[in-house]
């Protein structure tokens, strides 16, 4: 298989669950400690060997584009002041010049539609998709786990994880024919199944390694769940030809598209930072005690 060098980041969503914060700040710019969510996604992509970064944006997301612009004056001023640690962090967050492109999704027609807009930028090679709402904590970054495994196949591969029964209708859900280690041979996948109809307990998590055939499938689709063009449906349409594997990655996923998941991630990531030791070891109800 050709190497996977490009990743698509669908970042056009409105972030309504974080209003009013997201009135003027894209949800992907909300920080976990001191890095915005999008940085975790980009770092994971870099760790998997990605060299080109394709962002599908919408109006109101200019802060994202600005974030990935270099700031030579700021870097020089940090260097002049000897603020080496901050300068290192700033430089580590950068994308190499010319490696990022931004494509506007003008209408909210769904995740599949967003990915379809990357067709020309991706070209005729397998590529990754990362949904930045899904932040994954792992020893080996989740996309790197998948890319290592996908290097030996020409099939689509999607990340999966066991999900609580009552939450399955919020996910794409896979139908597993058989499993071997982390790899699940799929015979079906369905987007947001009605309660009680999910084919397994495994939900789709926002990491994909896709073959370029998915663009033809996306072009053929009619709207699915929620009246949107669904990526899950396009991948499912390739089950009988290209084939689809699930990958039950090793790691903990946080749903940072929800306030609860975002807070859980904040606490978990803070507990891993030695300089923040003890911050969250306080009794609950602290604010009331202060008052």
Contacts with ligand G1P by CB under 6 A lie at 111, 131, 133-134, 171-172, 191, 203-206, 230-232
Number of C-beta neighbours around residue 62 at 10 A: 11
Minimum CB distance to ligand G1P, residue 133 (Å):
6
Nearer to ligand G1P, 15 or 78 (CB): 15
Rounded least distance, CB 72 to ligand G1P, Å: 36
Burial-class residue 290 by CB neighbours within 10 Å (0-12, 13-18, 19+): exposed
Smallest gap from Cβ 10 to ligand G1P, in A, equals: 8
CB of 32 to ligand G1P, least distance (A): 16
Distance CA 63, CA 44 (A): 21
Name which of 14 and 125 has its Cβ closer to ligand G1P: 14
Pair 78, 31: CB distance under 8 Å: no
Contact criterion met (CB below 8 Å) for 246 and 188: no
**Helix spans in 68-184 (H):** 72-80, 84-92, 111-116, 119-122, 142-150
CB of 171 to ligand G1P, least distance (A): 4
Which residue, 78 or 114, has its beta carbon nearer to ligand G1P? Answer: 114
| Minimum CB distance to ligand G1P smaller for 78 or for 200 | 200
Instruction: Give the residue with the Cβ less far from ligand G1P, 64 or 173.
Output: 173
Do the Cβ atoms of 49 and 5 come closer than 8 Å?
yes
Q: Is the dihedral of CA 83, 89, 90, 94 positive or negative?
A: positive
Least Cβ distance, residue 77 to ligand G1P (angstroms): 39
- Three-class DSSP category at 57: strand
Contact 207, 159 (CB under 8 A): yes
CB 11 within 8 A of CB 132: yes
Q: How far is the CB of 104 from ligand G1P (least distance, A)?
A: 19
Nearest residue (CB) to ligand G1P, 96 versus 226? 226
Bridging pattern class, strands 156-162 and 252-255: unpaired
Residues 175-187: b if buried by 16+ CB within 10 A, e if exposed: bbeeeeebbbebe
The two structure tokens encoding residue 14: 């409105």
Q: What is the closest distance, in whole angstroms, from the C-beta atom of residue 275 to ligand G1P in the complex? A: 31
- Nearer to ligand G1P by Cβ, of 48 and 111: the residue is 111
For 217-230, the DSSP string reads: HHHH----GGGS--
Measured at CB, which residue is nearest to ligand G1P?
172
User: Closer CB to ligand G1P, residue 4 or residue 111?
Assistant: 111
């Amino acid at each position: 298989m050709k190497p996977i060098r490009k990743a698509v980041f669908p970042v056009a969503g409105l972030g309504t669950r974080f209003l009013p914060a997201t009135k003027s700040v894209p949800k992907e710019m909300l920080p976990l400690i001191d890095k915005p969510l999008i940085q975790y996604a980009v770092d994971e992509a870099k760790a998997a060997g990605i060299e080109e970064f394709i962002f599908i944006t919408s109006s109101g997301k200019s802060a994202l584009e600005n974030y990935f612009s270099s700031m030579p004056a700021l870097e020089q001023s940090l260097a002049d002041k000897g603020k080496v640690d901050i300068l290192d962090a700033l430089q580590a967050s950068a994308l190499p010049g010319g490696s990022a492109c931004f494509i506007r999704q003008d209408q909210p027609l769904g995740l599949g539609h967003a990915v379809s807009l990357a067709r020309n930028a991706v070209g005729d090679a397998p590529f990754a998709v990362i949904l930045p709402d899904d932040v994954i904590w792992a020893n080996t970054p989740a996309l790197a786990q998948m890319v290592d495994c996908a290097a030996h196949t020409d099939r689509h591969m999607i990340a999966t994880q066991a999900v609580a029964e009552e939450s399955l209708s919020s996910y794409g859900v896979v139908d597993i024919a058989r499993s071997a280690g982390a790899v699940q041979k799929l015979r079906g996948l369905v987007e947001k199944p009605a309660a009680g109809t999910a084919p397994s307990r495994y939900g789709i998590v926002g990491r994909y390694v896709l073959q370029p055939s998915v663009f033809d499938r996306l072009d053929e689709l009619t709207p699915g769940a929620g009246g949107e063009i669904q990526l899950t449906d396009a991948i499912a349409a390739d089950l009988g030809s290209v084939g689809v594997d699930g990958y039950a990655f090793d790691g903990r996923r946080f749903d940072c598209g929800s306030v609860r998941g975002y807070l859980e991630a904040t606490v978990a990531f803070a507990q891993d930072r030695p300089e923040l030791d003890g911050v969250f070891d306080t009794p609950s109800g602290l604010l009331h005690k202060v008052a």
